[in-house]
Every structure is written in C-alpha cells, then in structure tokens.
Structure 1
Amino acid sequence: MLKFLLKPSLIAFLYCLFTINSLHAVEVSKLDEADVPVSSRAVPERNQALKKALEKVIIKNTGTARSLENSVIQAQLATPDTLLSQYGYLEQNGQLLLKANFEHRRVVALLRQAQLPVWGTQRPLTLFWVAMPSEGDTILLSDSSTLAERQAFSAFSDERGIPVLLPILDLDELMGINPNDVKGMFADIVASVSGRYQADFLALVAIEPAGNQVRYRLNLYTKATIDSLTPPLFSFNGSAENAAQAVSAMMVALGDYYFTKYAIADTGTQVGASVTFINIEKMKQVVEIEKYLKQLSAIKSATLTRIQGNTVTFSLDLFGSETDFERLLSLEPRISVVVPASSGEFSPVSSQLGKPVYQWRLP
C-alpha cells in the first residue's frame, strides 16, 4: 500500500495496472503524525521526543527543514504539547517509539502565522530510475530490492511525505533499458519504458564510485513528452560517503524543489478568484467539490455563488496566486480541464474570459 513509497513489487504492479487512465498525484495522509525512537517512557525523554515529532510534522507540511529556522516555529517547539492531539508508545522491531498526533488546523494556523508556505495533501508522484554500483557491477535499483539505498528512499519518503515509485524491473523493462541508459541521462530511452507507471515526474539518478566516496547526479523531468533534447526541470549533483547518503542528499534537494513549486504562502494581500465546473450530474458532486476546495492549502475560503443548469461556480479567496491554485488543481485525479467547444457552440471557457473550466469526475 502507499504509505508514501509504493513498497512491494506486486502492489506497484497493481498500481500501474489499475491507474493507467488516471492522473497521478498521490493524496498523502498522516501529515500530522510522527514516530520518534526513545529509550524509555521517562517524562524528560517524552518531552524531547514530542519536540522532535512536531519538527517532523512541520517539515512534512512545508516540505523543507528550513522552516524550523523560523522564529515563530522555534517558539512553538518549546511547547509542542499545546498542539498535541494524542500520543502513545509502540514497539517496532525491538525499538520503543513515541507516536504523536497533532491537530491539523492548529499546525496549519501556526505555519500561516509564521508566514511559511503550506504544502497540501495532493502531492506529485515521482518515478525514480537509479543506476548504482553493487558488487563490482552497475545495477538498476528495483522496487523489490533489499539494499540500504532502497530503504533510504522509503525512509525519506515517509519522513517528508514525498510519494516515490521505483520500477519493478521485470523482463520487459530489462530488455528495454540498461544501467548505462540511466547513467548517461538518456531521458528519452528511460521514458519509453516508463509508460506503465503513471507518475507526474521522472527522475534519473546516477551513483558512481569516486575513491572512498561516491559521486551522484539527479535529473528531473516531467514524465510526458520527453525527447533526446529535453532539458531537465531540475538537476542536482555532489559527493557523499556512500550511496545511501547520496540518496538522502538528493531527496532533500528534490523536496526543496517541490517546496518551491507546490507549497503556498500567504501573500498578505486580498487575492480573489473564481472557479467553474461543468457537466455536474448530481448534487453530491457539488458537495464533494466544495469539500475539496476548502481543504486546499491555496484557499482561505470558498463560497458557492452560482448554479445554472449543470454548471457551478465558486468564489474564492486565495493565499497565493491563481497560478498557484491552478497548479494544485492539476494534481487532483478527479479534476480535468474541459476542452473549449468548437466554433459556433456554447463554450463555458469563453464565458470565463479565457480562464480554464473544469469537470469533476464521478468515481
């Protein structure tokens, strides 16, 4: 199941099989809870663990560890229990853990008070192709691998709430791609064997020995329309003590990139907008749309202002810009942009002065 990383190979296969015709963003849950290893249930250690848990929650909701440097956040970390919903202890593989849950609304309110961007629950899914050294050879890292690097992807995905997918590497894929294709950053070749994975982004990673260390490089692409001349959206490279540390460094950089792209700050100004949905068949859709809009990190308030036939319009008060808002809508699998009607026919798009008009898909 998606915790954040799609873990077992069979599940990854079923995910590919049943989402071929859907959009790809993942709705990330558990953004307001965190587990922290502890050695005892003593009060001083509990208090320190609650602070660490709140730090993790703040990072998951903003997307970057830089948010912890904010003075408002620093003040709140001194009293984490004031945002606490509940906590408890559990044992996992012989390790005692403190599990803490914090109140979502109060966490978001804290981030807004600190004037920090907030990253919502809809987050892009990234497919990683990783070429790395193993036992004197270069291999591709698979979803089913038990290597430390695979676990590093899983741990970071859980910690930051960044959904990650690794390839199954079945026979079809192994015949269509080899590690040199990834090392050489031949994105067009990699994209040609990635069609089964309905991800938003495609990441090519090369990790190579460099004396007692490793060198690494990451190139990020949108998954659609890649050819041999397509430049990466984002690149990152460096060196690390080992491949697992290289994975962590690259994932931190990727998290910061997504933070700048999807986390939305309060502009401090009144930004009004509207959004229109057509082809509404049931009142249930209107209720679902309103519920969805009101939980978006880009929206201060959403009010249903017009119903005409099968068309509904909501007036919005935004934290960020309309572009930020539209970027978030593009991540929602239940929403699609309606193609304008042909010439001579009624077009809701033209009636909105060129603004996109949307459709809410029934399950």
Structure 2
Amino acid sequence: MLKFQLKPRFMAFLFCLLTVNSLHAVEVKTLAEAEVPVSSRAIPERNKALKSALEQVVIKNTGSAQSLNNSIIQAQLANPDSLLSQYGYVEQNGQLLLRASFEHRRVVALLRQAQLPVWGTQRPLTLFWIALPGEGESILLSDSSTLGERQQLKSLSDNRGIPHLLPILDLDELMGINPNDVKGMFADIVASVSGRYQADFLALVAIEPAGGQLRYRLNLYTKASIDSVTPPLFSFNGTAQTVEQGLSAMMSALADYYFSKYAIADTGAQVGANVTFGNLETMAQLVEVEKYLKQLSAIKHITLSRIQGNTVTFSLDLFGSETDFERLLSLEPRISIVAPAGTGEFNPVPNATAKPVYQWRQP
C-alpha cells in the first residue's frame, strides 16, 4: 500500500525560495475542433466541409499548412469520418457553419505516423498591443472593440491554437500609453502598463499607411524581462493591401515561430528520461500527475518506477529530446521546481545524473 508522508514545515519555505516557474500558459481545448462555412446541409457540402475541418485541425496541431501535403495526411483527408467524433450545424450572423469535433488522440497518432511535429495542449499566452490606422490618427485595439479587426484576431488565433489577450484600455492605461509608443516599438513603455496581465509574451504590432499600401511590423518579447535595450525574440514585417491581410500574415508568422519552439517531432531515436515529483501528499495528486504526463505530446510511454515517501519518479520514453520535454513542463502552471538538481535528500535516484525535482500544485 502506498503511503505519503507530510513534509516538514521548512520544506514549504524552501519551495517558496526555489519556485522558478512564472509562466501563465493555458490549456487549449479546441485543437480537435473546427468550424467551416457551408451553403447547405446537403451531403456533398457536408463531406467537403468535413475535409476542410480536418485540414484546420491538422494545421492547429502541426503548425504548418505544409503538413497537408504529407501523403499519409492526404490519405486521411479523403476519409475524415474515420476520425470524426461529432458534428452539427450552427448559424452565426446569417451564415450556416458546420462545426466538427475529431478524436484528438487519434489525430495526434496520425500526425506521429506521418512523422510530423506535434504541439500539446499547453500553450503560452500572448498579450497583443496593436496600433491600427484610424480616421486621421492611429488607434489601439482593445479587448472590447467592435471593430472587425478584433473578431479577425480572435479567428486567426483560434485557427492556429494561439491563446491571446488584448488590453482593456481603461483610463489608467490610456494615461500611460499611446499608439505612438506601439508604433515606435517602445517595449519598455508598453511593458510598464502591462503588469496586470498574466501573459507569457508581449507582442507589439503596428500597421500604418505607406504610400498606396500598408506597412506592418510585429515584435515579440518575453513579458517578464523587458527594458529599453531588450531586443525582440522574434520580429516580422512587410506590406499589405489591407489591415486584414497584414494581420493574417503576422499571425501566420507568429504561429510558425511558436511551433518551431514548442512542437515536437519524432526523431526515431530511442530517448529515455526520468522525471521526479516531490511533496505528493495524496494518491489523488499522484493520479493527476500521471494523467498530465500521459497526455504530453513529448511522451511515447510512461512507467511509474519509484516511490519513496512522498517523492515519485517516472521513467519515460520520449519523442524528441529531453530538453523538449523540460520545455513543455515549464509551460504548465501547476508545475514548478521545488529543488534544483542534486540537492541532498531530494535526489531520489542515487548515483544517477542529477535532475531537478518538480512540485505539483493544485489549482
């Protein structure tokens, strides 16, 4: 029978000192869902829409439209019903939509079979500050805006599975920032009024007239560490005929950047690892940890290999590298490092390569 012991009181203090995870990633629950406009409920129209819906789901989970050219994906697109969980019809603003849900585990298995990269459900949260051309002067896009660009940003984010926030733009924010700060890419000023938002990344987006076209630019920063000389993590710019085209190009480029950092492909190599969690006080916590690990896109197989007191070690077979796996752990807000590698009583596997010990925090 498993028995979990309570840690001494000083352990709680040590946890507070050593916790390093400050990310605010969110779980995206729509990676196996899509909506497609249809002209009718006729069977041929339905079949065409289901194929388009599965295409959207593949792109959400792989990050690239190029994945649709894969021969295994092409074969599956000819038979989307075999992955279908359910579908139905909804009407929005006079437009009939087919809404389809596919079995996410089988979608991921298909992508692995096709040797395509997969990004899991935990994804970083991005706060967007967007300066748009207005009537005579630039304006900032707010979360409550009724402009078409607000809905377009939501659709683009949903289609790529990129969680996002827009600022409230209340009086305090408007006194601390103006569109020129965003257009000038003054990230330190923008960051100074963004403290209330629990986001991982800060995206500054500027769209402004340039001759007969529009010039757009996007700079991405880690929200937690910005000053006047901080270079962007990622930058993208170009020209477009419309604001909609510019937003679409930037969101596609940003999605490609995120997927290059977080999506994990199967290298075909046998990669083994172990991960240890301390301070597990109940069997329910152990079950939650194991459930979480099993759904990670980086893990092929998981085995509970060691229990000592309230410290538990799992043995893993991985897709990709151990670094890829650790990057995914850093995105989970319920996980933090309770002790760095090789610290005394926390090193549960003697004579093994020192690893950090993680803490599972209940929401």
- Which residue of the partner structure matches residue 76 of structure 1? 76
- Describe the shift of the 1:342–1:117 C-alpha distance in structure 2 as closer, same or farther (beyond 3 A): closer
SS at match of 1:202: strand
SS at match of 1:135: coil
- Which residue of the partner structure matches residue 43 of structure 2? 43
Q: How does 1:1-363 map to 2 (within 5 A)?
A: 23-340=23-340, 346-348=345-347, 353-363=353-363
Over the residues paired in the alignment, what is the CA RMSD in angstroms? Answer: 1.8
CA distance in 1, matches of 2:106, 2:342: 47
Do the aligned partners of 1:31 and 1:61 also contact (CA within 8 Å) in 2? yes
CA distance in 1, matches of 2:138, 2:323: 42
- Describe the shift of the 1:207–1:303 C-alpha distance in structure 2 as closer, same or farther (beyond 3 A): same
Shift of 1:342: 11
Shift of 1:179: 1.3
- Describe the shift of the 1:135–1:189 C-alpha distance in structure 2 as closer, same or farther (beyond 3 A): same
Aligned residues: 342
Do the aligned partners of 1:349 and 1:355 also contact (CA within 8 Å) in 2? no
Do the aligned partners of 1:338 and 1:358 also contact (CA within 8 Å) in 2? yes
CA distance in 2, matches of 1:165, 1:277: 32
Do the aligned partners of 1:215 and 1:237 also contact (CA within 8 Å) in 2? yes
SS at match of 2:274: strand
Note the alpha carbon deviations across 1:236-261, whole angstroms, 9 max, x for none: 00011111221111000001111111
SS at match of 1:143: coil
CA distance in 1, matches of 2:113, 2:150: 37
Judge which range, 75-84 or 214-223, deviates more: 75-84
SS at match of 2:331: coil
- Describe the shift of the 1:87–1:317 C-alpha distance in structure 2 as closer, same or farther (beyond 3 A): same
Note the alpha carbon deviations across 1:224-277, whole angstroms, 9 max, x for none: 111111111111000111112211110000011111111111110110000001
Do the aligned partners of 1:340 and 1:348 also contact (CA within 8 Å) in 2? no
CA distance in 2, matches of 1:347, 1:356: 8
**Which amino acid in structure 2 is aligned with residue 32 of structure 1?**
A
Shift of 1:350: 9.7
CA distance in 1, matches of 2:360, 2:221: 28
Shift of 1:92: 2.0
CA distance in 2, matches of 1:36, 1:132: 28
SS at match of 2:149: helix
Do the aligned partners of 2:85 and 2:103 also contact (CA within 8 Å) in 1? yes
Note the alpha carbon deviations across 1:7-65, whole angstroms, 9 max, x for none: xxxxxxxxxxxxxx974101001211211111111121111111101101111111222
SS at match of 1:266: coil
Do the aligned partners of 2:23 and 2:124 also contact (CA within 8 Å) in 1? no
- Describe the shift of the 1:282–1:97 C-alpha distance in structure 2 as closer, same or farther (beyond 3 A): same
Do the aligned partners of 2:342 and 2:355 also contact (CA within 8 Å) in 1? no
Query: Which TM-score applies when normalising by structure 1?
Result: 0.90
SS at match of 1:330: helix
Query: Could you list the runs of 5+ residues in structure 2 that have no partner in the other structure?
Result: 1-20
CA distance in 1, matches of 2:37, 2:127: 30
Shift of 1:147: 1.2
- How much identity, in percent, do the aligned residues show? 79
- Describe the shift of the 1:84–1:349 C-alpha distance in structure 2 as closer, same or farther (beyond 3 A): same
- Describe the shift of the 1:48–1:191 C-alpha distance in structure 2 as closer, same or farther (beyond 3 A): same
Do the aligned partners of 1:340 and 1:349 also contact (CA within 8 Å) in 2? no
SS at match of 1:338: strand
SS at match of 1:277: strand
Do the aligned partners of 2:127 and 2:197 also contact (CA within 8 Å) in 1? yes
CA distance in 2, matches of 1:172, 1:348: 48
CA distance in 1, matches of 2:270, 2:70: 24
Shift of 1:340: 3.6
- Describe the shift of the 1:22–1:257 C-alpha distance in structure 2 as closer, same or farther (beyond 3 A): closer
Do the aligned partners of 2:346 and 2:357 also contact (CA within 8 Å) in 1? no
**Which amino acid in structure 1 is aligned with residue 141 of structure 2?**
L
CA distance in 1, matches of 2:342, 2:259: 38
**Which amino acid in structure 1 is aligned with residue 34 of structure 2?**
A
Shift of 1:353: 3.3
Do the aligned partners of 1:218 and 1:250 also contact (CA within 8 Å) in 2? yes
Note the alpha carbon deviations across 1:270-329, whole angstroms, 9 max, x for none: 100000011111111110000000000000111111110111000000011111101110
Shift of 1:349: 8.5
Shift of 1:128: 0.5
CA distance in 1, matches of 2:287, 2:187: 42
Judge which range, 319-328 or 352-361, deviates more: 352-361
CA distance in 2, matches of 1:213, 1:349: 62
CA distance in 2, matches of 1:339, 1:111: 36
- Which residue of the partner structure matches residue 4 of structure 2? none
CA distance in 1, matches of 2:76, 2:297: 21
Do the aligned partners of 1:349 and 1:356 also contact (CA within 8 Å) in 2? no
**Which amino acid in structure 2 is aligned with residue 85 of structure 1?**
S
Note the alpha carbon deviations across 1:168-215, whole angstroms, 9 max, x for none: 111111111111111111111111111111101110111110123210
**Which amino acid in structure 2 is aligned with residue 361 of structure 1?**
R
- Describe the shift of the 1:266–1:91 C-alpha distance in structure 2 as closer, same or farther (beyond 3 A): same
